[in-house]
């Protein structure tokens, strides 16, 4: 049986020693204080029924066990959070890959729908990396005409993509 005065004496006598002891396991002062507090709360709650032969042994063993459990639980939480964020990042990257594939598909579809001469000029420029002058020579047209075809192709592709993305946005908005 433990009375209030004995409890206060035990608390005041062992508090600093317990803090120093738990610093061997962690430098998280908040965790240390929570651990010590929980030990003394349990001791006070069970003051009428608890039977302790060696209070020092009880306190230090309880402190060690509780701090190790807290550290283990904290590490589990960190691991779970890390796994969660890695999974979310992977999902996000997968979504971006799908969107890039979809975007490329839409561009290719838009290019296929271009008028034949515009399509030819655009493909020579973008896929074969030919200069406007090289395209003009190969297609037997002027550089200004190449520029006009490229401009026309880019405008049509842009319009097709904006129509598609506006439709997508209207679904989500």
State the pLDDT at residue 173.
42
Of the pLDDT bands very low, low, confident and very high (cuts 50, 70, 90), residue 172 is very low
78 and 135 inside one domain: no
User: In the predicted model, is pLDDT for residue 97 greater than 60?
Assistant: no
For residue 55, the enclosing domain spans 4-83
Task: Assign residue 152 the CATH number of its domain.
Answer: 1.10.10.10
- Give the chain's domain count: 2
pLDDT in tens, 120-159: 999 898 888 889 999 999 999 999 999 999 999 999 988 8
The answer to whether residues 46 and 7 touch, using CB atoms and an 8 Å cutoff, is: no
Residue 91 forms part of a structural domain: no
Which residues touch 40 (CB under 8 Å, ≥6 apart)? 7, 11
Average pLDDT, the chain: 86
Q: Are residues 74 and 138 in the same domain?
A: no
Q: Verify that 62 and 133 share a domain, yes or no.
A: no
| In-domain check, residue 98 | no
Asked if residue 61 and residue 19 are part of one domain, the reply reads yes
Read off the CATH number of the domain in which 43 is found: 1.10.1740
- Assess if residue 77 is contained within a domain: yes
CB atoms within 10 A of CB 57: 10
Which of 83, 104, 139 is the last residue in one of the domains? 83
Q: Is residue 119 part of a domain?
A: yes
Alpha-carbon dihedral angle through residues 9, 13, 15, 19, given to the nearest 10 degrees: -170
Structural domain includes residue 97: no
Over residues 28-48, the pLDDT tens digits come to 999 999 999 999 999 999 888
Q: Report which of 40, 29, 32 is spatially closest to residue 64, judged by C-alpha positions.
A: 32
Which pLDDT score, from 0 to 100, does residue 54 have?
A: 92
13 within some domain:
yes
Could you tell me if 125 and 70 lie in one domain? no
Question: Does residue 146 fall inside a structural domain?
Answer: yes
């Amino acid at each position: 049986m433990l009375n209030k005065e004995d409890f206060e004496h035990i608390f005041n006598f062992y508090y600093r020693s317990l803090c120093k002891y738990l610093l061997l396991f962690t430098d998280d002062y908040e965790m240390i204080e929570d651990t010590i507090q929980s030990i003394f709360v349990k001791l006070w709650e069970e003051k009428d029924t608890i039977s302790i032969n060696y209070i020092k042994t009880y306190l230090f063993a309880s402190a060690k066990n509780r701090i190790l459990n807290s550290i283990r639980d904290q590490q589990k939480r960190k691991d779970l959070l890390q796994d969660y964020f890695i999974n979310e990042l992977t999902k996000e990257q997968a979504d971006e890959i799908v969107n890039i594939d979809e975007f490329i598909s839409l561009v290719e579809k838009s290019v296929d729908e271009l008028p034949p001469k515009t399509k030819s000029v655009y493909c020579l420029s973008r896929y074969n990396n030919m200069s406007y002058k090289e395209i003009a020579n190969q297609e037997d047209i002027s550089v200004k005409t190449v520029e006009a075809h490229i401009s026309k192709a880019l405008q049509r592709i842009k319009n097709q993509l904006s129509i598609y993305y506006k439709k997508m946005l209207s679904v989500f908005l």
